[in-house]
Structure 1
Amino acid sequence: MALALTACATAGPDYRPPEKSAATAPAAQGAFLSAQDARFSNAELPGHWWRLYDDPRLDALVEQALAANTDLRVADANLSAAQVGRTVGTSLGGGATLARPSGTAESLPGVVGYDLGLSASYPLDLNGRIRRAIEASAADVEAVAAARDYVRVGVAAATARAYAQVCAANYSLAVNRRVVALQRETLNATQRLFKGGRGTAFDVSRAQAAVDASEAGLPAFAAQRQGGLYLLATLLGRAPADYPKDVEDCTTLPMLHAALPMGDGAALIRRRPDIRQAERGIAADTARVGVATADLYPQIGIGGSLGIGGPLRSFGSGTSFGMSLGPLLSWSFPNRPVVRARIAQADAQVQADLARFDGTVLEALRQTETALESYRRHADQTAALDRARDSAGISAAQAGKLFRFGRGDFLSLLDAQRSLANAEASAAAARVQLVQDQIAIFLALGGGWS
């Protein structure tokens, strides 16, 4: 009867990847809307995207972070815990007794007895309950592995950002120091003119104020550099004082020398670890529907035992040995409404997983399009600010010549140099933002693991 009820079938639905979801929509599979110019290519994004910058120091930092980062160590430990397999269980029991039967004339202490036994059972899994549990466990392990990959993606991007922050701070510091040097030359010239009777004390004080105002911004860049170095140390699993000293003097921004490889939406969906994690969650919970469904049927197994027991004085005799072998049956038949409720809960969890999967896909696409659009607009802005800086430099040089030859007033010179200082700072900040935008794109694309 039990065999007929189980019908030798695997309980619950077989898992299939979502066919009608956000991931399979044509709009999600095609090219990105914000990547329709020469700055981008359809080439597949390499796993080690930071090597596109052709910067050995950056390569070394990312590799060190991926080997020593504390968040990755936690993710590795979680993966190891998820991969621990199940073992077959057995039971071993034993005991001793001291008994004096009532109504006998035997004197104390009575009869000493013993009982030792070993039992084991093997489930036949005729309804697939264990099979579904194994499927769920395997999908859970793959989901944890995907979560670990997502941490790796974040660590690589954070390391590149911290390195770019250090280089950007030194780069901006050098740019602003050049502005200060130009303003100081003007101050020195103004002081000479004042001593020669051609200038005024007011001109000198205004030139000094311009120098002081520009110098006041320099410490902020030094603070940004140290902040980036301390962040690098943390990402590398070190104390802040043990930051990488060879990066301290970096003044060249990491820049791409070719079009940014993008791929398309389908490649993004395949690559993003968080999407894979969400998909594996659907697979695991679909298998758990089968686990719950299997409780509608009897659980059948084969059990056996070996044991010895009896009075201690007969220990080792043939009559003290015993064994058994036979079928085991477990069935919670009266509680079928409870089982039906658990099946409904498992089905509802799968529906929630499907919605979560769609949300993860849509968010990944949104992040990528936003990062691409930001990069495009900032690239256009950077080009315009570079032109403005060049024009301000020409204007400041012309104002300086006019002032030195007595054909221009000092206020015009200061105004031209102030415009140059602002243009230099804006152009430098835009170039720094461009690097951060590139890294944001690589993060949104899910690069950093293979």
Structure 2
Amino acid sequence: MRAPLKAAVLALVIGTLTACAVGPDYKMPEQVKQVPFNSPYQQAGAALNWWQAFNDPVLNQLIEKALVENRTITQARANVDRAYAVFRDADNNRLPNGTLDSGYQAYENSTLDPSDDDIISRGYQSGASLTWDVDLFGKIRRASEAAQANAQQADILWHDAQLQIISQVAASYGDYRGAQLRLQVAQENVNNLEQSRAIVLARLNAGMASELELARMDAQLYEVKASVPAYQSQLATADAALSSLLAATPGELADSVLSQGDVSNLPQLSKPVAIVKGENYLRYRADVASTERALAASTAQIGVATADLYPNLSISGFLGFLSSPGFAVNSDSQSWSVAPTLSWQVADWGSVRARINSAKASSQMALADFEQSVFSALNDMSLSLKSYNLSRQQELTTEQQRAASQKAVHIARQRYNAGSGEFLDLLDAERELLRSRDQQAQLEKQTFTRLVNIYKAFGGGISVL
């Protein structure tokens, strides 16, 4: 038993000498040009509940259901499990592996010697077979590093999938409420035009208006009525998008969840969003973190390829029993073997060099992808803020326009009814009011969508004052 013990001790010593690994050690980039980047990914504390700031029970219900039912999130979660299983498999390769075997063999005429003719031999083998690739130059270690980085990337992408689905549900909900609001505005406009038409008709019957005036009023009324199917189509499109995101059947949400809530207004914040000066919002961006982990994995692959420039040592062995025909299992049938093997790809040097160059090129591509993601994220965040602020300004101005148009219609209608105003003044005032009301409804939806884009662009890291 001493010989196997010595072999085990020798293997342990070799294992302690495999601390070095060829190829570059990865370091997270500290900055990209003048942009500092030295923080690992951190999921924002509000990433999975920022929508609650809108205080909309229907939106809360939709997103909570999406986080459970959405198949993209389910797929991303399964991808995390798969990636970590691959990592564990790669990491285990640094340890010896083996099997427990038990076998029986019977054979006749085992040699060409005439003395063996018609002789049947039987034997039994039982024991442990072990193999170990000694990671002298860190090939297995680098492969484990790459697999770990890929698993971390999968985990980040799972978090990103949640944020993306939340944002899509919120945006589609805004589309749905926006279509409902435009339908409501269209109906209000129809009612308003019918009141004006009644005045024109009364004046026509009194001989104070012409058929042309009534026809022009009817044309404007039918124009508004003709827009209703377009809004209904937008409503159906938003319902289909939400149903797909929540794994619901067509019309299921419209008949249940979406039938609740206030149709007249889109969700709004009671307080403005806050941008903290000096905060590193890049650390909340899953796309940036994902490309950084891809860079780490590709850097480790350089070491995997470089290790093939050096010899590879593997050790195989057996410890067990080889029995005689009598199948006796005792100290006399005990058996062991140790077989170290040294291999070196000297004859394939060109291919090894090619794989190293390929790995280096892949790392350069990953670095460029990471740097581009940083600049894209910065511009995405900046654009989302500017777009939202501009939309708010436009919305406030349109509110003033609608109020002025409402006043103009009231005055024009009174004057026309009293016979002191022109019909064309009333018609123009009605047309301007129709346009301003519909534009205001569109801008409310646009502002909500752009607010959702802010949370999405900042990885859910924006807080509310």
Question: TM-score normalized by structure 2?
Answer: 0.84
Structure 1 residues 45 and 303: alpha-carbon distance in aligned structure 2, compared to 1, 3 A threshold: closer
Alpha-carbon distance in 2 for matches of 1:62, 1:168: 18
Deviation at 1:50, TM superposition (A): 0.9
- Equivalent residue for 2:253? 243
Question: Is 2:352 aligned against 1:345?
Answer: no
Alpha-carbon distance in 2 for matches of 1:106, 1:293: 53
> How many positions carry a matched residue from both structures?
430
Alpha-carbon distance in 1 for matches of 2:419, 2:108: 125
- Equivalent residue for 1:180? 190
Alpha-carbon distance in 2 for matches of 1:271, 1:264: 15
Q: 2:240 aligns with which of 203, 208, 230?
A: 230
Q: 1:409 aligns with which of 400, 422, 438?
A: 422
Structure 1 residues 10 and 323: alpha-carbon distance in aligned structure 2, compared to 1, 3 A threshold: same
* Residue type of the alignment partner of 1:46: A
Structure 1 residues 7 and 304: alpha-carbon distance in aligned structure 2, compared to 1, 3 A threshold: closer
Structure 1 residues 302 and 352: alpha-carbon distance in aligned structure 2, compared to 1, 3 A threshold: same
Contact 1:94 1:117 in 2 (8 A): no
- Equivalent residue for 1:38? none
Deviation at 1:317, TM superposition (A): 6.2
Question: Is 2:134 aligned against 1:134?
Answer: no
- Equivalent residue for 1:46? 46
Alpha-carbon distance in 2 for matches of 1:326, 1:104: 33
Alpha-carbon distance in 1 for matches of 2:20, 2:78: 37
Q: 1:168 aligns with which of 158, 165, 178?
A: 178
Alpha-carbon distance in 2 for matches of 1:448, 1:108: 83
Alpha-carbon distance in 2 for matches of 1:58, 1:242: 16
- Equivalent residue for 1:90? 98
Alpha-carbon distance in 1 for matches of 2:259, 2:233: 12
Contact 2:281 2:461 in 1 (8 A): no
Alpha-carbon distance in 1 for matches of 2:122, 2:24: 57
Q: 1:12 aligns with which of 20, 23, 26?
A: 23
Question: Is 2:51 aligned against 1:66?
Answer: no
* Residue type of the alignment partner of 2:259: E
- 1:83 aligns to what SS in structure 2? helix
- Equivalent residue for 2:3? none
Alpha-carbon distance in 1 for matches of 2:277, 2:303: 36
Alpha-carbon distance in 1 for matches of 2:143, 2:30: 24
- 1:383 aligns to what SS in structure 2? helix
String of CA shifts for 1:261-301, please: whole Å, max 9, x gaps: 33468522100001101111111122222222233333335
Deviation at 1:153, TM superposition (A): 1.5
- Equivalent residue for 2:337? 324
* Residue type of the alignment partner of 1:98: Y
Contact 2:97 2:132 in 1 (8 A): no
Alpha-carbon distance in 1 for matches of 2:354, 2:219: 78
String of CA shifts for 1:71-94, please: whole Å, max 9, x gaps: 111111111111112256324474
Percent of aligned pairs with the same residue?
A: 28
Alpha-carbon distance in 2 for matches of 1:144, 1:169: 37
- 2:257 aligns to what SS in structure 1? helix
String of CA shifts for 1:219-257, please: whole Å, max 9, x gaps: 222222222222212111222232252313541201122
Deviation at 1:144, TM superposition (A): 0.9
47-56 or 257-266, which deviates more: 257-266
Deviation at 1:435, TM superposition (A): 1.0
Alpha-carbon distance in 2 for matches of 1:153, 1:102: 74
- Equivalent residue for 1:80? 81
Contact 1:116 1:309 in 2 (8 A): yes
95-104 or 62-71, which deviates more: 95-104
- Equivalent residue for 1:21? 32
- Equivalent residue for 1:386? 399
String of CA shifts for 1:103-139, please: whole Å, max 9, x gaps: 4356636334455553112344343332222221111
Structure 1 residues 126 and 240: alpha-carbon distance in aligned structure 2, compared to 1, 3 A threshold: same
Alpha-carbon distance in 2 for matches of 1:347, 1:93: 46
Contact 2:18 2:138 in 1 (8 A): no
Contact 2:46 2:460 in 1 (8 A): yes
Alpha-carbon distance in 1 for matches of 2:45, 2:213: 57
- Equivalent residue for 2:108? 99
Gaps of 5+ in 1: 30-43
Alpha-carbon distance in 2 for matches of 1:448, 1:247: 28
String of CA shifts for 1:290-347, please: whole Å, max 9, x gaps: 2222333333355430244465345546544311246453433444443333223222
String of CA shifts for 1:27-82, please: whole Å, max 9, x gaps: x99xxxxxxxxxxxxxx883222122121221221121111101111111111111
Contact 2:180 2:235 in 1 (8 A): yes
Alpha-carbon distance in 2 for matches of 1:418, 1:314: 104
- 1:254 aligns to what SS in structure 2? coil
Alpha-carbon distance in 1 for matches of 2:461, 2:341: 51
Alpha-carbon distance in 1 for matches of 2:155, 2:314: 33
- Equivalent residue for 1:193? 203
Gaps of 5+ in 2: 1-12, 39-43
Contact 2:102 2:124 in 1 (8 A): no
Alpha-carbon distance in 1 for matches of 2:341, 2:115: 43
- Equivalent residue for 1:32? none
Alpha-carbon distance in 2 for matches of 1:45, 1:82: 25
Deviation at 1:175, TM superposition (A): 1.6
Q: 1:150 aligns with which of 157, 160, 164?
A: 160
Q: 1:207 aligns with which of 217, 223, 228?
A: 217
Contact 1:68 1:236 in 2 (8 A): yes
Q: 1:395 aligns with which of 408, 414, 417?
A: 408
String of CA shifts for 1:155-206, please: whole Å, max 9, x gaps: 0110001111111111121122111111101111222222233333222222
Deviation at 1:400, TM superposition (A): 0.5
